[in-house]
Structure 1
């Protein structure tokens, strides 16, 4: 489990088709590296990976075929690129973002990035139209003021269209400069993870168990089970 608050930027480089080395500059991640151990879960651009070997300045991890298919890791070439790094949430740690699992739901593209006086207004969407994956895993969970993880970053949705084909986030300067959002160009792919709380509510409303009928779902039912 993660929070979507990035602690460092690393540099990822493929070691073949499914293995990657992630190096973290000591100036950014000295304390993070000092606490890292074999078997730890680390979010790399929002993808939960397991540390399988340690390097003096980073670690090596392997991605499963499903992960390569569903995330931007599958399109990495030989060039080194920046990725966002977050270690897993520890019991008792502050939860400053939102609950992020590290299980990416799909990818989207940066459509537009506009700098304003106080933020960067960044618009993301599926340039191939409302594909089944986008519609089922992303679009249905897009709501204004809702949460979404973009490359592992916890962000708030400022607005979106009715069909969910695009959404916009206002990114403050500290988030923009301390994550790889500042390296994105229009058309670049990003990893997206929808809000897990929205997924559970959707499950309750549309796929009731044999103990509950659709008519039993109410505000009091959701409150009783901790969703309100």
Structure 2
């Protein structure tokens, strides 16, 4: 579990069929390197990856075929800049929102326009697995960065966020060009709400059938309890 508050920028490259090498620069050692252990979960551009080997200036991680297909890793060629965040510890500050690191799909930068107080950045979202969870004023993780949707289309296939200068300068959002892919993860709460609503009719029928089955039973009285050995 992560918060979407990026701790460092690193670089990533493929070093095998499903192996990735993540390296951080000399200016971004941060707590990531100080407390890194094999088996740790690290958010790499919003993707939860497990450390399998520790290097002097980074680590090796493996990605499953599903992870490669669902994320920007499938389009990775050469080296690329990535946002890094260590997993949330009990008692740590939760300044963003709950980010699982399980990317829903890929979106694409439309435009990044500076304003007096922020960068207004818009994205297109062709994947319905992602767009269904995008709502105005809702939370979304873009390359692992916790952001709030400022505006979106009714279907969620387009949305805009406002990024403060500090966040823009300390994440790889600053390097994006129109058309570049980004990893998107919708708010996990929305996914559970969607499932509950989808299953609501079947649940209501099950409750009604249960109520009908127990309706003829006697009322719960002291006499009823005594008769059935509870008193």
Mapped pair 1:142 → 2:134? yes
CA distance in 1, matches of 2:192, 2:9: 31
Alignment of 1:13-32 (within 5 A): 13-32=13-32
Unpaired segments of 5 or more residues in structure 1?
217-228
Q: Is the 8 A contact 1:7 1:29 kept in 2?
A: no
Work out the CA distance in 1 between the residues paired with 2:133 and 2:69: 21
Distance change >3 Å, CA 163–CA 65, structure 1 → 2: same
**Structure 1, residues 54-94: CA drift from partner, whole Å, max 9, x if none?**
0011100111000000000111112x211000011011111
Aligned length in residues: 208
Shift of 1:18: 1.5
CA RMSD of aligned residues (A): 1.8
Distance 2:186 2:73 in 1: 18
Q: Is the 8 A contact 2:3 2:94 kept in 1?
A: yes
Are 2:41 and 2:51, in contact at CA under 8 Å, matched by a contact in 1? yes
Match for 2:185 among 193, 200, 209? 193
User: Could you list the runs of 4 or more consecutive aligned residues of structure 1 that deviate by over 6 angstroms after TM superposition?
Assistant: none
For the pair shown, the structure with the greater C-alpha radius of gyration is 2
Shift of 1:209: 8.2
TM-score by length of structure 1 reads: 0.87
Instruction: Point out where structure 2 has 5 or more consecutive residues left out of the alignment.
Output: 209-231
Could you give the per-residue CA deviations for residues 6-47 of structure 1, whole angstroms, max 9, x where no partner exists?
000011111023111111124212432010000000000000
TM-score by length of 2: 0.86
